[in-house]
Structures are given as structure tokens and as C-alpha cells.
Amino acid sequence: MSTASGIPDYRDPDGTRRIQPMRIDEFRTSAEARRRYWARSYVGWQNLHRARPNPAHLAVTALQRAGLAGPVITQNVDGLHHAAGTTHITELHGSLSRVVCEACGEVTSRSALDRRMAAANPDFAGTGTQIRPDGDAVLSTLLVDSFRAPLCGCCSADRLRPDVVFFGDVVPRATVDHCFSLVEEAEGLLVLGSSLQVMSGLRFVRRAAKRGLPIVVITRGRTRADELVAVKWEAPLEQALPALAHRLAPDSAAAEARHGLVASL
């Protein structure tokens, strides 16, 4: 969904993982791992913060406002659905816009933390060689070692983490139950841009299939649920979704297209 906004995928179209992300056990048990994460995130956040919704995000909003799409469950952590004006969003894997302290539970905004990290690292000159899908960037070891990792502004613990589900972590049970309830109330399921390689999202498709709901997938490459879908359209979302919205909801699609133009100026 967000690749046309400059945010890369975790996986290639054939489902192969493109990068090896940091796992939650490494992040929690190693101060050096946290330093490495926050140094890379400090650089990568600038790219993520500048990203804007692309035509696919705007098309989802158009379909929703026309009454043709309901609640959205997203595995993305970039907040671009919100920026596009979509409502009733469940962020299955959390959001990079929030930071939580695992020691005291304090929640702060990522923008506020960015200002604190800038003040603590005034001479940090990292630019990164590769922007990654979780909002960080590839940096040299020398640059990482020079970075001062942030501490909690409330309890001063070195336990800050982005409010997202890391690899090896689990989605909160309440979030999973809410998503299952959305599937139970749905008349159909539309899967956009996911290979469904991990159970995190696949389980909702399987529940929809068990209920006998029509399942439509628009993505590039194979998915783990290909045998369950009624219709599969292999196409880039930034092209396919606007075309679909213009056909089904031309007035709403035109309005969102104008909104996207204004937002980009």
C-alpha cells in the first residue's frame, strides 16, 4: 500500500523477505541493540515523516466515504491511512507515531522524541544508505556507536520502544479479538497489497473463508490464501485502486484526487 509513497515492502512479490528486521527479544535484552535501532530510526524517521498518502490510500478513503468499504485493518505502521482521511482504522501492528516506555508505561509522540534525540545528538551526521520499511535506515557501526540513545522522559529508563509489534512479538489479544469481530460483522473481505505470509493477517482471511464470505485480493505476486479467494487482481495498488474507485464511486474518487493534489502542493 505504501510503496508508492516511498516506503519499501518487507517482502518481494514472491513473498521472500527482503530484509531481516530486529526481533523483540534482541531489542529488549540488549542496550546496544536499542542504540542501533534508535540511531537508524532517527535517520529513517525523516523519510517516513515526509511520506504522503499515494493514490491507493486516497482511493480507500473514496470507497469508504461512498459506503463501498467499511472498517480498515492495516498491518502498516506509517499512519498514511489516517493522513489520507480514512476512518475506522485498526492498526494491527501499532504505529511508529507513538513511543512507549516498557519500564513505566509512559506514552509520548515520536515527533517529541525526535526533538529530544536531536538535542542530545547535535553533531550526528548520519544520512543512511538504505531506508527500510519499519522507518529506520542502514548506518555504519561507527555512526551507531556515536549515537546517544534516548531515555524515558518520565522515569529515565533505557526502555523506550516504538509502539509497534516487532518481529517475534505478538499482537495484543484485545486487538486480535476486535479484528475478528470486524470479520464476523463483514459482508466481504478485501485484501490490499499483502502476501499474507504471516499468520498475523492470514488468520482473518481464514476466518472470512470459514464464514463463506467473498474474498477479493489486489496485490502483486502470490499469497498464502490464493486458494481461498473469489477474485484476485495482480496489479500495483496505486493504479488498480483509483481505477476501481473511479468506476464504483466517481464523485467521491474525484474529490479525494483533488484532496491529494492539494495535500501535495
CB atoms closer than 10 angstroms to residue 71: 17
For residue 163, is it within any domain? yes
Q: Confirm whether 66 is domain-assigned.
A: yes
Query: What phi and psi, each to the nearest 5 degrees, are found at residue 131?
Result: -85, 135
Per the listing, cell 475478528 goes with 180
The pLDDT, as a whole number, for residue 261 is 44
**Positions at the binding site:** 101, 104, 152, 155
Is there a domain that residue 221 lies in? no
- One digit per residue, pLDDT tens: the chain, 265 residues? 999 998 877 655 555 555 567 899 999 999 999 999 998 888 888 878 888 999 999 999 999 999 999 999 999 999 999 999 999 999 999 999 999 999 999 999 999 999 999 999 998 865 554 555 555 566 667 678 889 999 999 999 999 999 999 989 999 999 999 999 999 999 999 999 999 998 999 999 999 999 999 999 999 999 999 999 999 999 999 999 999 999 998 887 766 766 544 443 3
219-229: b (≥16 Cβ within 10 Å) or e: bbeebbbeebb
The DSSP secondary-structure symbol of 19 reads S
- Which residues are annotated binding-site positions for Zn(2+)? 101, 104, 152, 155
- Annotated catalytic sites, by residue? 93
What pLDDT sits at residue 265?
33
Instruction: Say which residues have a Cβ less than 8 Å from residue 144's Cβ, sequence separation at least 6.
Output: 35, 36, 39, 40
Q: What is the pLDDT of residue 45?
A: 85
* CA 182 to each of CA 32, 57, 103, 186, 245: distance values in angstroms, whole numbers, following the listed order: 40, 20, 32, 6, 22
Establish if 217 belongs to a structural domain: no
Instruction: Centre a 10 Å sphere on the Cβ of residue 261 and count the other Cβ atoms it contains.
Output: 10
Residue 181 lies in a domain: no
What DSSP designation does 79 have? -
**Residue 259 domain boundaries:** 3-169+235-264
Q: According to the model, what pLDDT value does residue 144 have? A: 83
For residue 148, the number of C-alpha atoms closer than 13 Å in the C-beta half-sphere is 13
Burial tier of 236 (Cβ tally within 10 Å: 0-12, 13-18, 19+): middle
Q: Phi first, then psi: what are they for 17, rounded to 5°?
A: -70, 130
What's 8's DSSP letter? Answer: -
The answer for residues whose C-beta is within 8 angstroms of residue 254's C-beta and 6 or more apart is 246
Count of domains in the chain? 1
Q: How many helices and strands in the chain, by DSSP H and E?
A: 10, 8
Q: Is residue 259 part of a domain?
A: yes
Q: What pLDDT score does 8 carry?
A: 76
Of 52, 19, 17, 26, give the one whose Cα is nearest residue 263. Answer: 52
d(CA 174, CA 189): 21
